[in-house]
Structure 1
Amino acid sequence: MSSPIHLQIKSLYKDFSPKEQAIADYILENPSKVSHGSISDLASELGIADSTFFQFTKTLGFNGFKDFKMALLKQENDLTAITVHENVQKNDSELVMAQKVFDSNMTTLTDTRKLLKEEDLKKAVTMISESRRLYFFGVGGSEIVATDAYHKFLRSPIPVGHSTDYHIQLMEASLLTEEDCALFISHSGKSKETIHIAEAVKKAGTKVIVVTSQANSPLAKLGDVVFISISEEIEFRSEALASRIAQLSIIDSLYVILMFRNRNNAQDTISKVRKVILKQKE
């Protein structure tokens, strides 16, 4: 498997059954023990049948336990280096609290970067480049990321659109065609409003890019290209909030690649935008 196993487990975790989550937790907490143990011993310690552990490895995309174990052994150095960031404690100083937030953000970015695939980046940017229009969709906290993306891509040579109002988003979606591209942002990938819009544009033949933290979510299944953002949760900040920095970085990457691919037109567009903005600053 090209993706680190612990990140693959994290991206699927919320779709696991309680029993599968228990197996996942055990693997994440005891990677070396799992990579050197027998399926019978591991299953016995977890209080489950051998077949249950075997089936879990199949769920992850492996041919079985032996295939999973070989991959785990290859990645053991990375896995044993994993540390779960200690939650912010009430006795921590302000500096320590801030440092823990930064540590969490850095882990989020590092983990997400490991899941990036060149073919996905190429495909997504090609879809955007060949589109008549690019629209950004997101609700709630994801709408903030969509607005940032819209603000950024306004500088690109591709016409873009976005609205902060859900009903207007629905109206915009109804007008998209197979010549357009839609980028959806949703941490859970389960937002009913976002899925409703995605289903509508998909039916119209619109190309769909999805940025989410849940690889098996309903929204992810609608994407022509899917980017997974991995995040660490700390006290007073949910996983959804933590994932924003990774989502923003994914969109930043698409923007930079697009601009370099369309360098001449991009420079012309940026020049026009800068001239207008500079006049307001004089």
Structure 2
Amino acid sequence: MAQIDPKSIGAHIRTRKQQLTPLERKVLDCILAKSDFDEKTSLKEIATENQVSEAIVVKIAKKLDFSGYREFRSGLAYYKQLEVANLHNDISADDTATQVIKKVFETSIQALQETMSILDISEFERCVKILVEADHIDLFGIGGSAQIAKDMAHKFLRIGIKASVYDDSHMMLMAGAVSHPGNVVLAISHSGTTIDVIEPLQLARQNGAKTIAITNYAISPIAECADVVLTSTSQGSLLLGENAAARIAQLNILDALYVAVAKQNLDISEDNLRKTRYAVKHKRTK
């Protein structure tokens, strides 16, 4: 595995979980949850505890882009000692309001810190260039991802960039069907496996549009049909799930894109900001 920020080891592992089989994911989850996992944890111990062969454990490590179990153990053991690895805590029935607030906020903090550590700057810059050069931008998303898409469209409109949001599978397919070179389609999918978003993104790409994916999993079906992939990350929680914290991270990725795009033509962006603010000024109470 290429040298990466130790703080992003956990995120690196999570973003690649989708390519594992159900059994392999179960073993990985047990390893991640193992409180006494350290540099001395043997391959045999992991295999025995999970009732699998040592070869399967090694295979999991290699699928996650480590050279083998030793490199995986070293990276994970170091990561587990870091503060960022311990920010997340599951919510329990006995938690007070103060504890709930603390845990929810810390889960979001963790998602932001780790997403920033894994964000590929070159891919981010490619994304900005594609958006700046676009004739038209379409935003695809279903459910919670659709709300993120709408927020991005709102920000773009403030600086004079009109973007269309599609959150219906049929409408997305139609938009993909009439895409052409010069168009950009930005699709948001936490899991990266939502067929209703993947199919129209594939169609748009086939018709010459540039495609961008925002997802929690670097290796996923949606990543395969995107020219540029920007990855968020968040730890799972039984009650919150991954989605809640991931949305915070994805909103911040899109906020950063918005600012980066705006500053490409700063004078025009600032002028349009003044115009759009003035247009809605009378809608506010004194």
User: What TM bracket, shorter-length normalisation?
Assistant: 0.7 to 0.9
| Residue 18 (str. 1) matches residue 22 (str. 2) | yes
Q: Corresponding residue for 1:136?
A: 139
CA contact (8 A) 1:105 1:232 kept: no
| Residue 189 (str. 1) matches residue 192 (str. 2) | yes
| Residue 56 (str. 1) matches residue 60 (str. 2) | yes
Where in structure 2 are there 5+ consecutive unaligned residues? none
TM (normalized to structure 1)? 0.87
**Kindly tell me: are residues 99 and 15 of structure 1, through their superposed partners in 2, closer, same or farther at Cα, counting changes over 3 Å?**
same
Aligned partner of residue 43 in structure 1, secondary structure: helix
Aligned partner of residue 238 in structure 1, secondary structure: coil
In the TM superposition, what is the alpha-carbon distance from 1:208 to its structure 2 partner?
1.0
How far apart are the structure 2 equivalents of 1:205 and 1:273? 32
CA contact (8 A) 1:132 1:159 kept: no
**Kindly tell me: are residues 95 and 62 of structure 1, through their superposed partners in 2, closer, same or farther at Cα, counting changes over 3 Å?**
closer
What percentage of aligned pairs have identical amino acids? 28
| Residue 95 (str. 1) matches residue 98 (str. 2) | yes
Aligned partner of residue 128 in structure 1, secondary structure: helix
In the TM superposition, what is the alpha-carbon distance from 1:203 to its structure 2 partner?
0.5
Where in structure 1 are there 5+ consecutive unaligned residues? none
Deviations along 1:16-58, one digit per CA (max 9) or x if unpaired, are: 2233224423442458745344434543454433322222221
In the TM superposition, what is the alpha-carbon distance from 1:169 to its structure 2 partner?
3.0
Which range moves more in the overlay, 261-270 or 59-68? 59-68
Letter in 1 for 2:274: S
Aligned partner of residue 211 in structure 2, secondary structure: strand
- What is the number of equivalent residue pairs in this alignment? 281
Aligned partner of residue 185 in structure 2, secondary structure: strand
**Kindly tell me: are residues 163 and 65 of structure 1, through their superposed partners in 2, closer, same or farther at Cα, counting changes over 3 Å?**
closer
Deviations along 1:160-199, one digit per CA (max 9) or x if unpaired, are: 2224444333332222212111110111111121111111
In the alignment, which of 148, 156, 179 is matched to residue 159 of structure 2?
A: 156
Aligned partner of residue 54 in structure 1, secondary structure: helix
CA contact (8 A) 1:27 1:34 kept: no
**Kindly tell me: are residues 70 and 201 of structure 1, through their superposed partners in 2, closer, same or farther at Cα, counting changes over 3 Å?**
same
CA contact (8 A) 1:129 1:158 kept: no
Q: Corresponding residue for 1:65?
A: 69
Aligned partner of residue 139 in structure 2, secondary structure: strand
